[in-house]
Amino acid sequence: MKIITAYVRTERAAQLMRALHNAGVSGVSAYIVHGVSGETSTFLYSKRPFEPSHLPESLKLEVICDEESVETIIQLIAREAKTGAPGDGIIAIQAIEQVRRIRDL
């Protein structure tokens, strides 16, 4: 099992979530997160950087999937999140040793 975490631009959220749903990917968690990315060095000088309401907004997606689905999901996220501008996003993949449902414990 793997967990895929992706940070993408919020303006691509609706299209990306629709594409994941159409591809049969279920169990996607989505959060709005704020932070300063490496692509916005001048941002620190233009606004007060450490107030969450002033920081740039991104969409954080998390998907737990089997090994066979990883490449398909990564390609889908990369295709749908791409705008061609710097800071389109980042994708991280981590191995999960065990996944347990709460009701099974």
- Arithmetic mean of pLDDT, 49-60: 71
Give, in order, the Cα–Cα distances in Å from 16 to each of 12, 41, 55, 73, 87: 6, 27, 22, 11, 16
The better pLDDT of the pair 73, 104 is held by: 73
The better pLDDT of the pair 63, 54 is held by: 63
Q: Which domains, from first to last, does the chain contain?
A: 2-104 (3.30.70.120)
With cut-offs at 50, 70 and 90, classify the pLDDT of residue 61.
very high
Q: What is the pLDDT of residues 86-100, one digit of tens each?
A: 778 889 999 999 888
pLDDT higher than 80, residue 36: no
Rg (CA), the chain: 16
